[in-house]
């Protein structure tokens, strides 16, 4: 029997019946019927391969309203949940008290004892998870096969709102959640019509509904994008070549998302999986099974990301800071080679960029070259061989000595 502290017992008494039912619904429990002021809820463990019959289900009696023994009955519920989920009642209570959220569970398989992970693996995984949310939010806003480095404020706000929770049972499971609006499009908890949020039977084909809150659109785009990434990795491995997959950008596939998945795998390219759980206040009708990414998938996704960037990697309105190292007036249009940083939020990398100059920029570039002055150039970046070229300039500013 699980021992409850006085504080936990008080917290259990403070949980509203609707909150308890919402939590159970989100964890896969189902209401089976009414029993004199209470609901019978049931959860059946997954059947083990080769088992001769379905496992015996767990059952809970959930009170419909507060009565004198309410705290004790909720404590009984928490005791059963603690067994099913292998977690402390305090952790379950804290999760019940959260506002409506969508969950993502990143399961790593690092070497060493269960429940531990090398620091470097976690750094890569957390950075990759942040980039994954950034890519999904960018695709939810504007689907593109290659997302620009500069991100709109709504994307930044989404990433800032993502929270990490306590780790879960498993080799090493990172739990993240995204808050959703409290109301159902102006409705109330339990109100009918929630299915209208998910008219599309196939998210990969149809993408998210524009009527959804942005946080849910990102959650769905994240699921669809990761699912597509595994699909294109499998196809790339099967054909031993990279096909054109940019038609899947509306479902969240992008070079940025593929690169984020590669980053999660870390330098050792370890496999991992992503699982998704949806707020019961905005139920998800489409099945969303976990997505496993293995070492060979990671290698294929590196190739897919590189292909997308090389073919489709034009970045409009990019900013380049650096110095002019070469000036060529004898080509049409004239070119300056600028060595410096392309200003991006996801990374900073110094490199040489060939810049196609406008007529009014030629003398400024020559002056900056002779005097060794820094320049700031704004234009469109395009892949060229193994490098990049900046074209269609909108600004060429020379700094002061």
Kindly list the distances between the CA atom of residue 164 and the CA atoms of 104, 130, 161, 175, in Å, as whole numbers in the listed order. 10, 11, 10, 6
Cβ atoms < 10 Å from Cβ of 379:
23
pLDDT at position 145 is 92
Is 127:309 a contact under the CB 8 Å cutoff?
no
Element (H, E) at 26: helix 17-26
* β-pair type (350-356, 387-398): parallel
User: What CA–CA distances, in Å, run from 268 to 34, 107, 115, 234, 271?
Assistant: 53, 16, 19, 20, 9
Q: Which residues contact 240 (CB under 8 A, 6 or more apart)?
A: none
Please give the pLDDT value at position 330.
92
Torsion sign over Cα 87, 89, 90, 91: positive
pLDDT in tens, 196-249: 223 333 444 444 454 689 999 999 999 999 999 999 999 999 999 999 998 999
Q: Which residue has the tokens 């029997």?
A: 1
For residues 341 and 191, the model is more confident at: 341
Residue 57 banded pLDDT, cuts 50, 70, 90:
confident
Q: What is the pLDDT of residue 52?
A: 57
Structure tokens at 214: 């942005």
Query: How far, in Å, CA of 313 to CA of 392, rounded?
Result: 15
Using CA atoms, how far apart are residues 39 and 361, in angstroms rounded to an integer?
75
Which residues face 30 on adjacent strands? 42
Rounded mean pLDDT, 76-86: 90
What is the reported pLDDT for 64?
Answer: 87
Q: Which of 101-110, 150-159, 169-178, 253-262 is the least confident region?
A: 169-178
Question: What would the pLDDT profile of 153-181 be if each residue is shown by its tens digit?
Answer: 999 999 999 999 888 767 799 999 999 88
DSSP H helical segments within 150-289, as ranges? 153-161, 203-206, 214-239, 255-265
Q: What is the mean pLDDT of the chain?
A: 85
Which pLDDT score is estimated for 376? 96
Q: How far apart are alpha carbons 187 and 192 in whole angstroms? A: 9
Closest CA to 159 of 219, 106, 100: 219
pTM of the model: 0.71
């Amino acid at each position: 029997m699980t021992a409850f502290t006085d504080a936990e017992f008080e917290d259990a008494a403070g949980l509203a019946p609707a909150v308890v039912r919402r939590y159970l619904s989100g964890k896969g429990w189902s209401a089976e019927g009414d029993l004199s002021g209470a609901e019978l809820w049931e959860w059946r463990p997954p059947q083990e391969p080769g088992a001769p019959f379905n496992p015996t289900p767990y059952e809970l009696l959930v009170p419909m309203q507060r009565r004198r023994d309410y705290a004790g009955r909720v404590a009984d519920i928490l005791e059963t949940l603690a067994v099913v989920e292998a977690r402390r009642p305090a952790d379950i209570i804290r999760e019940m008290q959260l506002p409506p959220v969508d969950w993502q569970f990143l399961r790593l398989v690092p070497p060493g004892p269960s429940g531990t992970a090398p620091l470097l693996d976690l750094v890569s995984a957390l950075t990759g998870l942040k980039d994954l949310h950034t890519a999904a939010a960018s695709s939810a806003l504007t689907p593109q096969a290659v997302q620009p480095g500069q991100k709109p404020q709504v994307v930044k706000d989404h990433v800032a709102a993502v929270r990490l929770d306590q780790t879960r049972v498993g080799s090493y499971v990172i739990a993240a959640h995204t808050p959703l609006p409290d109301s159902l499009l102006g409705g109330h908890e339990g109100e009918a019509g929630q299915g209208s949020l998910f008219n599309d039977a196939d998210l990969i084909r149809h993408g998210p509904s524009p009527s959804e809150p942005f946080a849910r659109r990102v959650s769905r785009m994240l699921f669809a994008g990761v699912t597509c990434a595994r699909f294109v990795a499998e196809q790339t491995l099967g054909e031993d070549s990279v096909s054109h997959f940019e038609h899947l950008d509306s479902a969240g596939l992008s070079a940025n998302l593929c690169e984020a998945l590669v980053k999660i795998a870390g330098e050792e390219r370890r496999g991992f999986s992503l699982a998704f759980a949806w707020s019961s206040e905005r139920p998800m009708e489409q099945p969303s099974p976990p997505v496993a990414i293995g070492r060979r998938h990671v290698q294929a996704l590196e190739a897919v990301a590189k292909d997308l960037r090389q073919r489709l990697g034009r970045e409009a309105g990019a900013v380049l800071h650096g110095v002019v190292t070469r000036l060529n007036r004898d080509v049409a249009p004239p070119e300056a080679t600028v060595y410096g940083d392309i200003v991006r939020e996801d990374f900073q990398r110094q490199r040489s960029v060939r810049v196609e100059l406008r007529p009014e920029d030629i003398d400024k570039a020559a002056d900056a070259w002779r005097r060794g002055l820094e320049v700031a150039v704004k234009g469109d970046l395009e892949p060229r061989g193994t490098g990049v070229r900046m074209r269609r300039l909108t600004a060429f500013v020379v700094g002061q000595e």
